[in-house]
Amino acid sequence: MLYSDTVDSEVLVHKPWFVAAMFLAVFLVLMPFNLAGSGMGELMRPVIGDPAVSGLFGRASIAFVLALLFCINVALIAFLPLRLQVLVVWFELLMLFLAFFQTFNLSLPFIAEKLPFMITQGLLTTVYISAVSIAIATVIAILGAVAKLSNNGFVYAVASFYTSFFRGLPLLMQVYLIYLGLPQLGIIIDAVPAGIIALSLCYGAYMTEIFRAGIQSIDRGQWEASRSLGFGFGLTMRQIILPQSLPVIIPPTGNQFISMLKDSSLVSVIGVWELMFLARTLGQKTFQHMEMLITAALLYWMLSILLELVQARIERHYARSKKR
């Protein structure tokens, strides 16, 4: 079982009332797609020829068949074990997406020609920028969280102003302010460092609240016990508080890393040769934009899946440690 407290979908799917409701819902969703692009005058005109393939009746028949096939598919999948259900549904959805992409008449040789460069240049640059940014953002978040938990009014004010300011501005605006604004103050900065600084400051503000909540989840008695043993603040934080708060901190931090990976595409506006920049530029000469955009989308997706697997493994590790 993937989850211990899930609803028994096999029993639910095989209930007649549930199947009927599911069929009706899918039918009502599919009907507008079949009617799209056809005026009511065309639909209501007298049907000449086979009524099953023309007019409103024909379109309703298509929606009926598709809804019926969908319900049969769901009912059959419910007999499988849960993990196998997930694999089958993922495979079916992947096939649907590939069929959808095929409607663009993509040039596979063009994709095969450009893919190595997109991986070696674009993907590696994206991973590099994201990894460095998340490392810097983590340091900022720890310092910001400690400052927001401090009784020092000046330190708390600086930390709260920082989180409010950088969470309140769009990331794209922060990229422009750093890359275009700092040179006006005499500080010349390249595109890659500017992108890293913008991502670090923006996500450091969000992660500050994550670390603050994680630290506050630890009982105050832990602090008092460490002080009674003569531990200093730094030692208490490193050895007692942070290790216990990691199970609370890791899941949202992992989500922030995945979000940062995708938001790193915004640094393409200042000329960084990351994945999104190459997807926009490689297909310009031959107007094959869709090939590159879809390729970049799949690379982002595969990288996100990899990070989700790593995050799940880390969460399981800390869950087992907590049980012990």
pLDDT of the residue at 42: 45
**pLDDT tens digits along 50-87:** 444 445 555 677 777 777 777 777 777 777 888 888 88
pLDDT of the residue at 135: 94
pLDDT of the residue at 157: 94
Domains in the chain, CATH or no CATH each: 9-102 (no CATH), 109-323 (1.10.3720.10)
Quote the distance between the C-alpha of residue 5 and its chain's center: 25
Whole-model pTM?
Answer: 0.75
Q: pLDDT tens string for the chain (324 positions)? A: 444 444 454 455 556 666 677 667 766 666 665 555 444 444 444 444 444 444 555 567 777 777 777 777 777 777 788 888 888 888 888 888 888 877 788 888 998 899 999 999 999 999 999 999 999 999 999 999 989 988 888 999 999 999 999 999 999 999 999 999 988 888 888 999 999 999 999 999 999 999 999 888 888 888 778 878 878 777 888 788 888 888 888 888 989 999 999 999 999 888 888 888 998 888 887 888 888 988 999 999 999 999 999 888 888 877 765 655
* Integer angstrom CA distances of residue 221 from 217, 226, 228: 11, 8, 10
Task: Decide: residue 28, CB within 10 A, 0-12 exposed, 13-18 middle, 19+ buried.
Answer: exposed
